[in-house]
Amino acid sequence: MWFNPTQLIDIEVSPEGHVIKLSVPTALHQYWISQNLLETISTEISGVYSHPFHIELVVVKQEAEEAPLISEPPAPLTIKDPSVNTNNFGHNRDTLNPEYTFSTFVVGRNNEFAHAVSHSIANNPGAENYNPLFICGPTGMGKTHLLNAVGNHVKEKYPNLVICYCSAERFLNECISSIRRNEMHKFRQKYRDKCHVLLMDDIQILGRGEAVQEEFFHTLNDFFEKGQQVIVASDRMPKDINGLEDRIRTRLEWGLIADIQMPDLETRVAILRYK
């Protein structure tokens, strides 16, 4: 999966050595191959190439095969006025678990893709073609850990960005409460106007109500049009969420789905040792 889209694009010759340039379609491929496959690739090339060399991975973006679902591409993630004290708005940042970071996440074959793409997004939220990111897996497989890890990383690297981390149940309850109090403007302001990164857990709960799905759909559209990052987690695939509207399912499948499987024995042992 990772090496298949890689192609040789150039070999630069110089007195210092040869540079073998390989194209990769995304920054995620560049990161993952450099961390996991570069040594193997070098060994294979050494068997057929006698000159000293080093490998350079170059991101060459490919044109999308399908047209996007919105009329214009999203703008880069920005804050209109960085001088504004956004700490007053980002109260949901405080719900992030500081213990759930990328450094405390045990990576195995079952979750390495979800970890790699989450790490890539955390370094550059909203700029990759992984929006939204849908993390799927059974309970206890680390979905919540990854959501928090992204939030904690973004919080540290981009202190001016407001992170909204919540469960879908909280989103649902706040929506219902706002409707009853006739305060939907405050609800929309919180999740759309004052939030730059939305992290939502247990999204399968949203299949329960029509009103909350209406708000969530427009919240998603608002984020995409602004080029702002959305990451959601669920214990089932979008197509398997009962009661979920087709338009929301389409939006969730529009980005990237990272499936976390049950860990193998080696990963389970590593998790137990870490604990």
CATH number of the domain to which 163 belongs: 3.40.50.300
Is the same domain home to 55 and 95?
no
Give 105's contacts (C-beta < 8 A, 6+ positions apart): 111, 115, 142, 145, 146, 149
Is the same domain home to 189 and 266?
yes
Is the same domain home to 130 and 192?
yes
Q: Does residue 117 lie within any of the structural domains?
A: yes
Structural domain boundaries enclosing 164: 86-274
- pTM for this entry: 0.68
Question: Which of 4-13, 42-51, 120-129, 198-207 comes out lowest in average pLDDT?
Answer: 4-13
Question: What is the identity of the amino acid at 59?
Answer: V
Q: For 120-149, how does the pLDDT look when each residue is reduced to its tens digit (9 = 90+)?
A: 999 999 866 789 999 999 988 899 999 999
Count of structural domains within the chain: 2
Is the same domain home to 114 and 204?
yes
Is the same domain home to 53 and 100?
no
Q: For 176-226, how does the pLDDT look when each residue is reduced to its tens digit (9 = 90+)?
A: 999 999 999 999 999 999 999 999 999 999 988 788 999 999 999 999 999
Is the same domain home to 37 and 125?
no
Helices (H), the chain: 27-36, 38-46, 112-123, 143-157, 168-180, 184-188, 210-226, 246-254, 265-274
pLDDT for res 167:
94
Is the same domain home to 44 and 104?
no
pLDDT for res 157:
95
Q: Does residue 194 lie within any of the structural domains?
A: yes
Is the same domain home to 101 and 53?
no
